[in-house]
Structure 1
Amino acid sequence: MPSSSISGASRPIQSGDHLYLVDGSSYIFRAYHALPPLTRKSDGLPIGAVHGFCQMLWKLVREADGEGDGAGPTHLAVIFDYSARSFRNDLYDQYKAHRPEPPEDLRPQFGLIRQAVAAFNIACVEQEGYEADDLIATYAREAAGKGATVTIVASDKDLMQLVGDGIEMLDPMKEKRIGVAEVEEKFGVRPDRVVDVQALAGDSVDNIPGVPGIGVKTAAQLITEYGDLEALLQRADEIKQPKRRQNLLDHAQNARISRQLAELKCDVPVEVAADELGVRDPDPERLIAFCKAMEFTTITRRVADATGFDPAKVEPGEVTVKYWPPEGATATPVSPAAPAAAPAATLATDAEPAAPEVRSNGAHGPGTPAAAAAAAAAALEGVSVDRSAYETVDTIERLDAWIAEAYEAGVFSIDTETTSLFPMQAELVGLSIATAPGKACYVPLAHRNSDGLDLAGEPPRQIPLADGLQRLKPLLEDRGTLKIAQNMKYDWLVFLRYGIDVRPFDDTMLLSYALDAGLGGNGMDELSERWFGHKPIKFAEVAGSGRNKVTFDLVPLDKATEYAAEDADVTLRLWRVLKPRLAADHSATVYETLERPMVTVLAGMERRGIMVDRAMLSRLSGDFAQSAAALEAEIYELAGETFNVGSPKQLGDILFGKMGLPGAKKTKTGAWTTGASVLEDLAAAGHELPSKVLAWRQLTKLKSTYTDALPGYVNAETGRVHTCYALAATTTGRLSSSEPNLQNIPVRTEEGRRIRKAFIAEKGMKLVSADYSQIELRVLAHIADIPQLRKAFEDGLDIHAMTASEMFGVPVEGMDPMVRRRAKAINFGIIYGISAFGLANQLAIPRQEAADYIKRYFERFPGIRDYMDSTKAFARANGYVETIFGRRCNYPNITRGHPSERAFFERAAINAPIQGSAADIIRRAMVRMEDALEKAGVEASMLLQVHDELIFEVPEDAVNDVMPVIARVMEEAPLPAVELKVPLRVDARAADNWDEAH
């Protein structure tokens, strides 16, 4: 059965069109083996192949949009193998029988890649009983027969038999196009005879038998001489070489079977027609949500830049981590018109949207919180969304009437429409209000017509911005009316730029996050579908997409009203469903102390921004470029020739092909493996060239990611960099930073520290860095109640030296730094569920030695193993774990799927109470900081949060007064809710730049 994710109208293929067919199945392995290993920073999920795949898809999308080097596609599809079996297994039961299982860290990525294709709004096709190559062959022949050009994006040699007559191949890794000449160069015959050569030579990878003793070169000579396979077999007795003649006679049947196995089927009865593969513009919101979920910062930025869609206004989507296809399951057939049902194409669930069940934690009887929550949800069932009922408010009289109604209701929802998704740059265009389900309006304030003229000059088209805000300001600041928003941090910042301090408020995104973190996305569209089965209007539907996209001030008022008022309407409905659940689910404390107060805290930090020394960054870029060039010269000298240092293939050829260094491994495609771990192993063994290459890679990444990019983020109005923090980005409560990401600037390398030097204080000010010391180990000591760790922290000992002493029986005094380093690696690795393999790589020691270290660690600190075992058991039984402050981290798939998948979620569940509790502690400190500083009568501005570190800007003459207050607030943050069994310690320093303060 087919599976496809396609949205939009079909576009018949005709002469002059260009069809791109991506061999998704083989490209997954290409991306996996050719690119360095990559894991998602928030939870360690392997995502390297997904990242490589997304980079290729983005390039294809840009080509389709006319920005590539050649003619982009008019039709595009990614084709996958449905499963390991096809009709060829019925022809020959040993077909592909010897293929090894895919690597464990690749298995979770199959399903994620299918979700990536769906996020790009590209047709995703697979069909039971057939391989991807057969579907590609069928589509290619049909399209070429209609006069279209076909590009097969693949490097699989089996597809080369299709080349010619309007069909070519493109190797995406080598950026190389493969035509008839390239096929002849590889096989020695034209494409139409490739299958005959393959039948003779066989294929050990696919277990196609062929004829013993005949390779590709000999097969090509024979086919060239005799014409085709059948003619050769009929005349085999004419072969002069006795052994070759006898093999052909003895294995003729194998050769014929091999031809059937190698020949691609060009007449598959496809259930997704080629005409339905027309290129569709991706929905930037959905695509950015997926990229954010995968933590693909660069791709997110590229999508945002190309579409003008502000990523700060999009929460990470929910991705389903599973193996594809699921064991014991078959893929669900799906119509191209109904992508939501495609098993691998949805960002949330595989079934119809369903609201989460209300957790009762208590009685269900009348009057209970659970009953109230259920009643609130039931009250909205069947209340349809009628967009035609929304009002466009274009006079002061009607605005006053809506303001009066909002006062009367006491609670209303509000949403802003602006010119940008970056709040520090956004200009207010209009706002929407809802006072009851179905009762909503839109107030246009700064729309323009297509000529750019302000509509305010043509009353009663809209209300002038200044007049509208003057009327609204008292309501928005009134302490007696509750304002509801979805992602209030954005709206709060926008209003603050116009002198309006919105309070009090609730945030439906954060309500959902406090209640259901890990169970699905918290964006308004997804919540609307989950709770109400209603799909709101997409931004692209009113503002367009791609080249036709306009800013919201150019959206016609009728469309703007439907879109904006619906957002306010849905937001109010969500609040009515979610707010009662806080009491029913015992989540009110988390929301009220850890979520809602952070809105204004983070918004204030984003508004303040931080200064950067652009001249220093420019010098650093030059220095890094020179250093990289110098390293290249040294690399060339060591290699004895010049080559592309950034090319894994060329580097592998030098290291292992030419220099013959040890530890050489090849991928299934025959390329040498040159990932970071391989180079680190070689460097640790004393080989200079790999060490130089590692240094070069680090330098070039720092240059492109930081020194080149950061100046572009300096706000023209403020002269400062304003990052965007996401509150609901992780299951554990950790914050994430984007546009730019200031949480990933390296601190342990000299180059990273030089970058931090470029973050500076204003004249007359100092930067103060306050950093928790080993907070996660302290939290572990508290949660697992480890006596040795508790005593070490209480006595202020060097925890890593103490651990080394406990494990290896060596005195702390005069300890070998290498011994301490090993203990440190284990201390931190244990928190993240490090394996013997991972520890062995990190310490460059044999795996068995690493396994012995871990075993000895658990023997010396048995409480840690007890904690891990009890946490896993609790998570399996309940589907969630909790931090010490009651934040619930849900892992609903912890008992499902493949053992490796379950193990991944178990590790996440073990880490979540530790990492989540540490995140909650710093949140509590941030919430209290401003009041504490004001009460102490000292001046300081909190600028950044970088995991366990807070950065402040402080007047020079106030530094000595400020630092003790900051340290005290941070160290006492758990109180009075939790009294830790170990003391927290904060290191605070002041300097002119971030590096010196850290």
Structure 2
Amino acid sequence: MPDSDQAQQHLYLVDGSSYIFRAYHRLPPLTNPEGTPVGAVYGYTTMLWKLADQLDKEDGPTHLAVILDKDSQSFRNEIYAEYKANRPEPPEDLRPQFPLIRDATRAFSLPCIEEQGLEADDLIASYAVAAAKQGWNVTIVSSDKDLMQLVGDEHGGTIDMLDTMKNARIGPAEVEEKFGVPPGKVGDVLALMGDSVDNIPGIYGIGPKTASKLIAEHGSLAGALDAAPEMKKSKLKERLLEGRDMAELSRVLVTLKEDCDLPQPLDEMKLDGIPPEPLGEFLETHGFSSLRKRLETAPATQGEVAQANEESEGDRQPLPELPACNRSKFETVQTIEALERWIARARSARLVAFDTETSSLDAMRADLVGVSLATGPNEACYIPLAHGGSDMFDEKPEQVPMDEAIALLKPLLEDDAVLKIAHNGKYDLNVLARHDIHVTPLDDTMVISFDLDAGRASEGIGGGHGMDELAQRHLGHECIPYKQVCGTGKKAIPFGEVALDKATEYAAEDADVTWRLHHLLKPRLSEEGGTRIYERVDRPLIPVVAGMEREGIRVDRERLAELSKSFAETVAGLEKEIHRLAGGEFTVGSPKQLGDVLFDKLGYKGGRKGKSGQYSTDQTILERLSNEGADIADKVLEWRQLTKLKSTYTDALQEAINPDTGRVHTSYSLVGAQTGRLSSTDPNLQNIPIRTEIGRQIRRAFVPEKGNVILAADYSQIELRLAAHMADVAPLKEAFRAGEDIHNRTAEEMFGNVDRDNRAKAKTINFAILYGISRWGLAGRLKIEADEAQALIDTYFARFPGIQKFIVRTLESVRENGYSETLFGRKTWFPRINAKNPNERAGSERAAVNAPIQGTSADIIKRAMVRMVPALREAGLHDTRMLLQVHDELVFECPEAQAEEAGKVIARVMSSAAEPAVTLDVPLDIEVGIGPSWDDAH
């Protein structure tokens, strides 16, 4: 121990690898003047600078070093060849950044330590133990669970950890809270549960909770394994007995090497501040001009470097308190001079929130009434453009003429140097595009919110993503309701007739709140790992989807009218048949009357009354009755489907035809499905039945303009392909690579032979398993007993064990972290995954199993959509237009002469959409069809 009068030495050891990957995933792509990717380098630089500078002032470390992995191989690969074998290769744009990150560390005049054959964790352990034995305190800057084995004071000095992501210290109490055992027993827990990231086998089927319980009860790994023979017969006993060798091997793999030779003496790690050189030269070389400027102008406040690059959203400081919203400060802009002043203010700020006020929710029919701008809290204005009564003799308020305002706003809204912020910006893009304003660049607070909090609705943490809800949740602010300014019912007035003082309060508040939400939510993307999915998938998709909505698709009104008439006749016939089977007339569409007929009058069993006192007659009930031989249930199901299709499609599509374009323009939501899929409304074109004749008849009404054809490109079995890759199922990967019929292959694996019946079962099971189906759910689909269904599930898992391991890993991860994650980093939250209610918990578990697969599929098709228009233009196919996105399909319209070439370009873009971010083990096959209607293109 040091003498009492000697200053306490405090060593900080930075786990450089975790910093590198965190920086890479949290920042958008950047390049230096030579064109080399430097996004991760920039993020690493800001994070390390903040750490070294702020700690020097606040926590007083005396010594600091960064520890890195030399390469991917270590002595553990000699013990177990499969160690870390599952880890994917680093992304292509990250590889050239590794040497630059080492340069960055040395530019700070900090030790950068790495050693051949050793992992960073072993060097950290050796340095930490050596320092502690000399009586030093040690802080490991990491959240790596393996390093938590070192926490404590058993070596003399205290060893703790610092998670800079959460700004949280990790001591013995925090480790025990996480693992249920003291730090010294963490390695035993890790050996039982294994680690899919490092491919440490552990014992299959034993998760973190079971592992913690076993070690806590038996004191050690050896104690738990030795106790297994005396345990009661159970799956756990079998797993412990069968997996002993793997657990003991895993214990060796997770044990940190604490006696490595130290490549650099502890005394050489002394922290003496950050010299301006060679850091300044490094920043200059790589074009980090804002960081260079801060180094030159404000050396005393270098901790603020995290705020240096607004566009890159580095590791920001805590946000200052924002003043309360004060509507009295909002300005009504009624003159050219005032508008020019606001435009100049926006250009100076380099960031402006905006919103449009219109006459309709339909962006393709709405008239522009006004525009609001905000450059900061309570710095907002409203620019009325079309206010006044609808009568030509009504007095109009003073306002900037529409044409002159558009001419002034267009350069600002199209200026690449000014970031525009909107909420549900896709709507505003479409409204303004009709005035020849094409807004860029754009941030969307609704999409940012979704990428942060998708799925959190049930806990009220991040439910809906509408502006009013987000303002209340994040800002504690109640927005003015639309009905308060425009009224409701017969007394409602258009926004253009609202008095300007009230219109300004309402409209400018929208822009002000949007600015505030952006100020609050955008930094969370980098802090919570959402930058990658936002910047690389969702943000660039916004203008693409807006353009697709503007294109619309032509429908044959006469064909739809004929279908409506035919459906009406069929519905009338079904009603007569239902009345005959019921023994009298009643309103078929009334659930109460139908329930009374089925269960009271006809006496069918199993009727259940809800709180309202009436019988449930939902689809599940009717399908059960149908399976039991109730003909009336069959007829009611058919009646419901036809009436729904008639009202939703054949009638509604005729009304939805835009009189100006002659086309139907659906609206896509980028935040409608929590897994990331697009959803379609007004009208919903994604729920047209795919395989029924009725659905085909409706799709035949979707037609091209004269001289054109419809082209449909569909991902073939993409979710099964992704499951094969993500679960690492060798037989399925081989089948896909060989172009085999995957359902035939599954039938052969499960049943030993392939016939029509076995293939149909295999197909049902293939898809059902991915949705976490229960034995009862599968029994219902296959119309078999639950025990037989369970036997099929067991057989499936036995033939494809990777699928079961994937399901187990996914559920364990979601239970621990609260969210699932796609291959591209999209998070979906499941706050009810640990619910006490078994139905709630089971529902979350089913959704959690499928979310990574369905979400990855959604990410891939989104990436394809973003790349599609540039690819078509590059190929000279300017007249090929993307019209629809439906599930795994993209629908285009193109001149007939271009169709074949367009199909090749489209298939190429779709098949390679995952790359280079993700390299799949299976090919993505694209089926392209061409025809005179959407149906004919299938």
Task: Pick the TM interval, shorter chain.
Answer: 0.5 to 0.7
Per the alignment, in what secondary structure is the counterpart of residue 997 of structure 1?
coil
> In 2, distance between residues paired with 1:975 and 1:780?
17
Question: After superposition, what is the alpha-carbon deviation per residue over 1:32-66, rounded to whole angstroms, capped at 9, x for unaligned?
Answer: xxxxxxxxxxxxxxxxxxxxxxxxxxxxxxxxxxx
Mark the runs of 5 or more structure 2 residues left unpaired by the alignment: 1-301, 457-461
> In 2, distance between residues paired with 1:513 and 1:666?
38
Residues 840 and 946 of structure 1, relative CA distance in 2, 3 Å threshold: same
CA contact (8 A) 1:440 1:568 kept: yes
> In 2, distance between residues paired with 1:687 and 1:898?
33
> In 1, distance between residues paired with 2:624 and 2:470?
47
> In 2, distance between residues paired with 1:749 and 1:436?
54
Report the AA paired with residue 493 of structure 1: N
Structure 2 length normalisation: TM-score? Answer: 0.64
Name the residue aligned to 1:846: 785
Give runs of aligned pairs for residues 14-93 of structure 1, distance below 5 A.
none
CA contact (8 A) 2:304 2:317 kept: no
CA contact (8 A) 1:767 1:992 kept: yes
Name the residue aligned to 1:538: 481
1:584 correspondence with 2:584: no
Name the residue aligned to 1:808: 751
Name the residue aligned to 1:175: none
CA contact (8 A) 2:443 2:539 kept: yes
Question: After superposition, what is the alpha-carbon deviation per residue over 1:272-298, rounded to whole angstroms, capped at 9, x for unaligned?
Answer: xxxxxxxxxxxxxxxxxxxxxxxxxxx
Residues 469 and 453 of structure 1, relative CA distance in 2, 3 Å threshold: farther
> Could you tell me which of 460, 477, 485 is aligned with 2:414?
477
Report the AA paired with residue 904 of structure 1: G
> Could you tell me which of 678, 681, 703 is aligned with 1:735?
678
1:410 correspondence with 2:350: yes
> Could you tell me which of 554, 573, 576 is aligned with 1:630?
573
CA contact (8 A) 1:766 1:956 kept: yes
Report the AA paired with residue 432 of structure 1: S
Report the AA paired with residue 574 of structure 1: L
CA contact (8 A) 1:412 1:435 kept: yes
Residues 676 and 513 of structure 1, relative CA distance in 2, 3 Å threshold: closer
Name the residue aligned to 2:931: 991
Question: After superposition, what is the alpha-carbon deviation per residue over 1:363-388, rounded to whole angstroms, capped at 9, x for unaligned?
Answer: x9864589998996854414122211
Residues 575 and 633 of structure 1, relative CA distance in 2, 3 Å threshold: closer
Per the alignment, in what secondary structure is the counterpart of residue 910 of structure 1?
helix
1:747 correspondence with 2:696: no
- Per-residue deviation at 1:916? 0.4
Give runs of aligned pairs for residues 457-476 of structure 1, distance below 5 A.
461-476=398-413
> In 2, distance between residues paired with 1:849 and 1:563?
61
> Could you tell me which of 651, 654, 664 is aligned with 1:721?
664
Name the residue aligned to 1:955: 895
- Per-residue deviation at 1:468? 1.0
Per the alignment, in what secondary structure is the counterpart of residue 709 of structure 1?
helix
Per the alignment, in what secondary structure is the counterpart of residue 708 of structure 1?
helix
Name the residue aligned to 2:799: 860
> In 2, distance between residues paired with 1:477 and 1:718?
25
Residues 665 and 487 of structure 1, relative CA distance in 2, 3 Å threshold: closer
Per the alignment, in what secondary structure is the counterpart of residue 740 of structure 1?
coil
Report the AA paired with residue 535 of structure 2: E
CA contact (8 A) 2:306 2:317 kept: no
1:779 correspondence with 2:722: yes
Name the residue aligned to 2:537: 594
Name the residue aligned to 1:256: none
> In 2, distance between residues paired with 1:653 and 1:468?
63
Name the residue aligned to 1:572: 515
> In 1, distance between residues paired with 2:905 and 2:309?
45
> In 2, distance between residues paired with 1:657 and 1:581?
57
> In 2, distance between residues paired with 1:491 and 1:977?
31
- Per-residue deviation at 1:550? 1.5
CA contact (8 A) 2:306 2:316 kept: no
Name the residue aligned to 1:103: none
Higher mean alpha-carbon deviation, 666-675 vs 483-492, is at 666-675
Name the residue aligned to 1:875: 814
- Per-residue deviation at 1:635? 4.1
Name the residue aligned to 2:334: 394
Name the residue aligned to 2:383: 443
> In 1, distance between residues paired with 2:596 and 2:367?
54
> Could you tell me which of 430, 452, 459 is aligned with 2:370?
430
Same amino acid, percent of matched pairs: 53
Question: After superposition, what is the alpha-carbon deviation per residue over 1:761-804, rounded to whole angstroms, capped at 9, x for unaligned?
Answer: 11111111111111111111111111121111111111112112
Residues 582 and 634 of structure 1, relative CA distance in 2, 3 Å threshold: closer
Per the alignment, in what secondary structure is the counterpart of residue 660 of structure 2?
coil
> Could you tell me which of 426, 438, 454 is aligned with 1:501?
438
Name the residue aligned to 1:384: 324
Report the AA paired with residue 419 of structure 2: L
- Per-residue deviation at 1:441? 1.2
Per the alignment, in what secondary structure is the counterpart of residue 935 of structure 2?
helix
1:887 correspondence with 2:830: no
> Could you tell me which of 907, 914, 919 is aligned with 1:979?
919
- Per-residue deviation at 1:680? 3.5
Residues 377 and 395 of structure 1, relative CA distance in 2, 3 Å threshold: farther
Report the AA paired with residue 443 of structure 2: D
1:915 correspondence with 2:868: no
Residues 411 and 693 of structure 1, relative CA distance in 2, 3 Å threshold: closer
Residues 444 and 806 of structure 1, relative CA distance in 2, 3 Å threshold: same
Mark the runs of 5 or more structure 1 residues left unpaired by the alignment: 1-363
CA contact (8 A) 1:376 1:576 kept: no
- Per-residue deviation at 1:411? 1.5
> In 2, distance between residues paired with 1:547 and 1:659?
45
CA contact (8 A) 1:370 1:584 kept: no
1:823 correspondence with 2:762: yes
Report the AA paired with residue 865 of structure 1: Q
Residues 664 and 386 of structure 1, relative CA distance in 2, 3 Å threshold: closer
- Per-residue deviation at 1:450? 8.0
CA contact (8 A) 1:377 1:576 kept: no
> In 1, distance between residues paired with 2:583 and 2:748?
47
> In 2, distance between residues paired with 1:365 and 1:787?
50
Residues 757 and 492 of structure 1, relative CA distance in 2, 3 Å threshold: same
> In 2, distance between residues paired with 1:539 and 1:688?
49
Name the residue aligned to 2:840: 901
> In 2, distance between residues paired with 1:432 and 1:896?
44
> In 1, distance between residues paired with 2:665 and 2:400?
31
Q: CA RMSD in A?
A: 2.6
- Per-residue deviation at 1:579? 2.4
- Per-residue deviation at 1:981? 1.0
Question: After superposition, what is the alpha-carbon deviation per residue over 1:520-557, rounded to whole angstroms, capped at 9, x for unaligned?
Answer: 13222222223322222222222222332211101111
- Per-residue deviation at 1:631? 3.0
